[in-house]
């Protein structure tokens, strides 16, 4: 953290207002985290239901903290008042930073990023919360890649300390310093990493998912694997449950990017158990059914 604090001192502007694009699992969490740490945020999605869900999730986290006596009722309303929602890009025109958190598709992300760049001031920092897609690849859609980098949060955002800040070839030092400062403002632990598919954490996590998928192909039951990894090995959750938390659609998109990025190292998942569940609309906790059934 001391290295990050030193880097953050070189930030050239203060983040007073943020924009988040995509109000899903991650966008909702990022908006909450920014607001609870005092930085107002505009959250944009193409679906009203997603915006409503994002706000409900923020309200639930705050209500839990209130009940546990960790925060005051004033803090609850103060935080919620700092989150505004919209379905229109032009409401993002006054933000200092944008965090893009739409679906893990290079095609959708490049289109969204270039639309956003057209509505925000030229020096607005644009970041992507992509899990796996190369930042340089996304930067190709932008006229000012110097103001662009990755800002990769982990799920659930309010609990996971780490944020990977991904430096693209053309990202400026000032952008990295300012995004580091914002991550610290949000109470997170930033690390700056170089660009490659999956960055750092997902280069470890996705081979683990691939190993899990191969075990399923060998006929091992997923609850048995989860039980061993959780109860006996001692990890907080097993791979099937973790896939349900991440979202099986997101995990499938991300593993496709990893397989394309490292064709000799990563097996292709198109036929794997995770992709098959996603193809059957079992997306995990986000729609109540994945490896397990919820609700």
Residue ranges in contact with ligand NAD by CB under 6 A: 21-27, 44-47, 50, 101-104, 108, 112, 129-131, 153-155, 246-247, 250, 254, 286
**CB of residue 36 to ligand NAD, shortest distance in Å:** 18
The structure tokens listed for 23 are 């109000």
E strands, 168-229, in order:
189-194
Three-state SS annotation for 13-41: CCCCCEEEECCCHHHHHHHHHHHHCCCCE
**CB of residue 128 to ligand NAD, shortest distance in Å:** 7
Residue 203: its H or E element: helix 201-217
**CB of residue 232 to ligand NAD, shortest distance in Å:** 25
Which of 131/172 has CB closer to ligand NAD?
Answer: 131
Express the helix, strand and coil content of the chain in percent, nearest 5 each: 50, 15, 35
Which of 120/254 has CB closer to ligand NAD?
Answer: 254
CA 118/CA 199 separation, integer angstroms: 27
Q: What is the largest CA-CA distance in the chain?
A: 55
Closest CA to 133 of 169, 107, 154: 107
Which of 15/254 has CB closer to ligand NAD?
Answer: 254
Selected catalytic residue, list 152, 158, 253, 269 = 152
Side-chain half-sphere of 164: how many Cα atoms within 13 Å?
A: 24
152 is catalytic: yes
Residue nearest to ligand NAD (CB): 24
Which of 41/112 has CB closer to ligand NAD?
Answer: 112
Q: Peptide bond before 156: cis, by omega within 30 degrees of 0? A: yes
Beta bridge pairs of residue 44: 21, 86
Residue 38: its H or E element: none
CA 79/CA 70 separation, integer angstroms: 14
Which of 22/172 has CB closer to ligand NAD?
Answer: 22
Catalytic residues: 152
């Amino acid at each position: 953290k001391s290295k990050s604090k030193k880097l953050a001192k070189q930030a050239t502007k203060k983040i007073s207002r943020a924009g988040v694009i995509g109000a899903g699992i991650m966008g909702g969490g990022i908006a909450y985290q920014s607001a609870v740490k005092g930085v107002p945020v505009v959250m944009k999605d193409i679906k009203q239901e997603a915006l409503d869900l994002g706000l409900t999730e923020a309200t639930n986290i705050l209500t839990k903290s209130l009940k546990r006596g960790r925060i005051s009722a004033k803090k609850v309303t103060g935080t919620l008042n700092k989150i505004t929602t919209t379905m229109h890009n032009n409401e993002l025109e006054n933000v200092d930073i944008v965090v893009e958190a739409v679906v893990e598709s290079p095609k959708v992300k490049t289109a969204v990023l270039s639309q956003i760049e057209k509505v925000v001031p030229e020096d607005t920092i644009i970041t992507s919360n992509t899990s796996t897609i190369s930042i340089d690849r996304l930067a190709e859609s932008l006229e000012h890649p110097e103001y662009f980098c990755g800002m990769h949060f982990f799920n659930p955002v309010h609990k996971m300390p780490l944020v990977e800040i991904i430096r693209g070839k053309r990202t400026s030092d000032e952008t990295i310093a300012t995004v580091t400062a914002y991550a610290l403002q949000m109470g997170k632990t930033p690390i700056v990493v170089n660009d490659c598919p999956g960055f750092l954490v997902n280069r470890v996590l996705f081979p683990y998912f691939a190993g899990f998928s191969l075990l399923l192909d060998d006929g091992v039951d997923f609850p048995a694997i989860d039980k061993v990894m959780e109860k006996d090995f001692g990890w907080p959750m097993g791979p099937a449950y973790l896939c349900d938390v991440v979202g099986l659609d997101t995990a499938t998109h991300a593993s496709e990017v990893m397989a394309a990025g490292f064709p000799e190292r990563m097996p292709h998942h198109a036929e794997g158990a995770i992709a098959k569940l996603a193809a059957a609309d079992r997306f995990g906790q986000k729609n109540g059914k994945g490896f397990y059934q919820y609700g």
